[in-house]
Chain A
Amino acid sequence: MSPSRRDFLKTSLGVPALVSLGRAIPGRSALAGATRRDDRNTILVVVQLTGGNDGLNTVVPYADDAYASSRPTLALPANQLHKIDSQLGFHPRMEAFMRLFKEGRLSVVQGVAYPKCDRTHEKAMRNWQTARPGETTCQTGWLGRTSDVLLERDEGTLPAVFVGRIPRPFTLNAATAVVPSIRSMRQCVLATMPGVTSSPVDRGAWDKPAERPQAGSDNRLLDFVRRSTSEARTASKRLEAVIEAAPKSADYPAFLLAQTFRGVAQLIRAELGIRIYCTELGGGGIGGFDNHANQLGNHCAMLQQLSESVAAFVDDLARDKLLDRVLLITFSEFGRTVSENGRRGTGHGAAAPMFLAGGKLKGGLVGPHPSLTDLDNDALKFHTDFRQVYATVLDRWLGVDSRTVLGEEFKQLDILQS
């Protein structure tokens, strides 16, 4: 956060704006190794790319002859790519990703999927969301279970939110944590009664009794709600101040995803204690990444939106020195077939890259690009299980035991700075 903005918040609220809402964590054991950072402050942003992103045209193996020969109309010309090395390049519209990559703020985990990976949208998406592939009765999403763990650790907090306009993805379905869908930032700010001239005193109506020291109160539940009420008011005011402080013209492009990220950045700045943000690109149905025909133009637009929106978000957070606390990851339900289908599109595939952005990444490519000739029914084979990424994020970023959430242990990836 810039000094001026921090000062603004301080003066406008009369309290240090950075005081966290989270209460002290009672005696948590030092599970961690030396790599554990202050994992109460870290934030995870998960971006769902709905429809099955064509990883092959996102991180392009331009030097591989099999690439051009498999894709007579869809192959991207090498001279338009943003070259990562002598083999790979980002899609022409992903200039912003290329910059982040060079800055060490973007990592690409290649060849990610899972055993017996499903090729129908609904089941494949459910597998990524639950992180329990094939368990059709699984009741919760992996971020939902993580939220349950975080809530149990620190009651009264808000572990996770969905920010977006589609119904909340199953990823966030939790057993005990209430994970709200946020469509507009105004939803998180206390509204006042229309027709009544508002003044600071009016707002006080809400919190005055809440803040009163309750001598002799022996209802601990009531005390808890009083504290929470008071915190909610503070949180609302802080968010309001952040929204008012942020210039409307902040450097976000007009894309819906970018505007969503702007909101996420506001929520992060308001220090609401939210640890997990989930958002989405591609729409609620089958999804904008599902290009069975005439893929080229659609895919360009999606990738440009993704690349420029993520970059704007990263730059915004970096300006306020918040980027070191934030890790963003993307996922899609599957990659696409290597060969195109005769309608200038592609079919449902398997392995694809995941993108990670943030201030504490090691950066670079993680794992080799999968072979374009050793295929599984025309789809790339995976070498990294997506749950390895999840496990790394859980254990080493959020400080939540991955075995609790994933049900088994997965080999971690060396993607984070220690």
Chain B
Amino acid sequence: MFAETRSDSPVKPVDPEWAWAPYKPDSRRPWNLPRAGHLYRRAGFGANWDELQRALADGPRHTVDRMLHPEADIEEFNRGYDDYEAAAADSGSGDGLRAWWLRRMIHTPHPLLEKMTLFWHNHFAISNLRVGNAPLIERYLQLLRSHALGPLAPLWQAVWRDPAVLLGTEAAENRKALPNENFARALLEHFGPGPGNFGPGDVTDAARALTGCFVRRGRFRFLDREHDSGVKKILGQQGNWGGDDAVRIVLAQPATSKRLVEKLYRWLISETDEPGDTLLAPLAELLAGDHDFSKLVEKMLRSNLFFSDMAYRQRVKSPVEFAVGIVRAMEGNVPTVRLGQDLATLGQDLCCPPTIKGWPTSRDWINSAALVGRSNLALALLSGSKPYGDKLDPAALVKKHGCSGPARAGRFMLDLFLQGDLAAGAAEDLRKTAGTPGTAAGKSPRLRRFVHAVVTLPEFQLA
């Protein structure tokens, strides 16, 4: 358990060299169930039982290896889902697209890829409420997925030509005589270096560099006659720049690297502290070198800091992480059209982030209505009846893993969802107040109630 190591936690400020060195288990910081569960929550949407057991057996290094490079045929899996998503989107259904993405998150053999696709969707936060075109959103998501774990340049160079991105930033028409500043401003203010790191002239000239860009009938068009071929000055660099140059210059800014590193830090490590420049400097340098985001992800996932108390349960699960985590752990399936709607009600409408800044984070997810909403969603998922049906069956799960019988079933569920890590005595209280789990055949309402009690614990709301 992490609690054992608490006294050994480094005192602030953290030594960057220690922080980013690979974690190697020892007697004080053993490789155990909580650490394995932590890794699966951050690098994916939580583990199922076999994943936890295999991680324990394999150790952290091999487990991270598999997260980065799964053994399964990822391409084949994704090709299948690409087709489903495209079919849903082409029929005009944003709900269908959202549902297939959720299903992909539930079943993917490469959860890290979906987690990072969601990261980029949250970064280039384009909403179908603005775009109003499900097939374009589907292609935009495919674009994000195809570059989610790779070098940054191809992703960024594709983004400014993406019809959904241009429509979503109100930049579908950029004329020489009337440069449209909307994408340029989004690029500098939200995607790139951020406020304070650019001036109004940079927006004007980046917009000029992007003149000639149009979206016509859902496709990107570059009209040469509408391109301003004069000299522009963007972030101190002068030249006859076009869109590629503008994006290249923005991406090369140290402020952009720093911002992306900070964002990934909050995504993978902690939402509760403000990492200082000293701590992040080695990572910013790594990213500035060849702009390979997968190396950055890998560095973080293997690090001492990642497996320390400074990261453990220092993030709040978003509604998607919460629900997909339950379904994955239960090794079942649920109707995801309905799940997409319920998650939208909880504030996370996939494909429709509220603003270009993406979704809320951390404590902003938590209030009384949100927690009642999560509890009621979990209940609906686990109740074995409408609207989610009976595909999540806790009795079958404990039987499959040889943990039938009330005491063993209860321990199994606590290990599965919380890796046994809850406040001293809380497990006992849970058994007393929620009753013995009971694994009788049939609908097993008592075991279902116990699982519901577990996933509504405060600990389970944290990633």
Measuring CB to CB, which residues of chain A are less than 8 angstroms from any residue of chain B? 21, 136-137, 139-140, 144, 151, 155-158, 161, 173-181, 187-196, 201-202, 204-206, 208-210, 212, 214, 217-222, 224-226, 228-229, 231-232, 235-236, 272-273
Contacts and interface: CB of A to CB of B under 8 A. Distances in A.
B369 A221 contact: no
Interface string B349-388: 0000011110010111111111111011001101101000
A51 to B, nearest CB: 20
B117 interface: no
Most buried by A among B272, B315, B453, B458: B458
Given A194-B445, A195-B443, A209 B426 contact: yes
A180 B435 CA distance: 32
Given A158-B369, A190-B375, A212-B429, 8 more contacts: A175-B360, A190-B372, A191-B376, A194-B445, A204-B433, A210-B457, A221-B272, A232-B370
Nearest to A272: B368
B449 interface: yes
A173 B379 contact: no
B433 A192 contact: no
Nearest to A173: B354
B433 A195 contact: no
Contact of B371 (A140, A209, A229): A229
Interface of B: 6, 169-170, 182, 185, 271-272, 309, 313-316, 345-347, 354-357, 360, 362-373, 375-376, 379-380, 382-383, 385, 422-423, 425-426, 429-430, 433-435, 443, 445-446, 448-449, 452-453, 456-459, 461-462
A196 B449 contact: yes
A176 B433 CA distance: 35
Contacts, number: 171
A191 B209 CA distance: 56
Nearest to A182: B369
A175 B357 CA distance: 7
A222 B366 CA distance: 11
Nearest to B452: A193
A235 B459 contact: no
Nearest to A161: B369
Nearest to A204: B433
A193 B423 contact: no
19 contacts: A158-B369, A173-B354, A176-B360, A193-B382, A193-B445, A193-B448, A193-B452, A202-B434, A205-B430, A205-B433, A205-B435, A206-B375, A212-B423, A222-B462, A224-B366, A225-B316, A225-B461, A229-B461, A235-B372
Contacts of B385: 194
A219 B255 CA distance: 31
A206 B1 CA distance: 24
A137 B430 contact: no
A228 B371 contact: yes
Closest 4 CB pairs of A and B: A195-B445, A178-B347, A205-B434, A232-B371
B367 A158 contact: yes
Most buried by A among B170, B357, B369, B379: B369
Majority SS at the chain A contact face: loop
A135 to B, nearest CB: 10
Most buried by B among A156, A190, A205: A205
Most buried by A among B362, B383, B456: B456
Contacts of A224: 363, 366
Given A209-B423, A209-B430, A221 B313 contact: yes
A144 B308 CA distance: 37
A228 B433 contact: no
B368 A235 contact: yes
A188 B372 contact: yes
Nearest to B355: A139
Contacts of B430: 205, 208-209
A158 B423 contact: no
A232 B376 CA distance: 12
A139 B352 CA distance: 12
A182 B357 CA distance: 25
A214 B423 contact: yes
Contacts of A236: 368, 372
B6 A218 contact: yes
Contacts of A174: 354
B373 A209 contact: no
Contact of B368 (A158, A175, A195): A158
Contacts of A139: 354-357
B363 A189 contact: no
B420 to A, nearest CB: 14
A193 B449 contact: yes
Contacts of B443: 195
A117 B288 CA distance: 48
A178 B458 contact: no
B108 to A, nearest CB: 26
A219 B313 contact: yes
A201 B371 contact: no
Contacts of B313: 219, 221-222
A196 B369 contact: no
Contacts of A136: 170
Contact of B370 (A178, A189, A195, A196): A178
B272 A228 contact: no
Contacts of B365: 178
Contacts of A214: 423
Given A178-B367, A180-B347, A209-B422, A196 B457 contact: no
B379 to A, nearest CB: 5
Given A218-B6, A221-B314, A188 B369 contact: yes
B376 A187 contact: yes
A137 B435 CA distance: 53
A204 B453 CA distance: 10
Nearest to B344: A181
A192 B376 CA distance: 8
A371 B249 CA distance: 57
Given A221-B462, A226-B458, A231 B368 contact: yes
A214 B367 CA distance: 20
B433 A208 contact: yes
A196 B385 CA distance: 14
Contacts of A188: 369, 372
A194 B376 CA distance: 12
A187 B383 contact: no
Nearest to B347: A178
Contacts of B182: 137
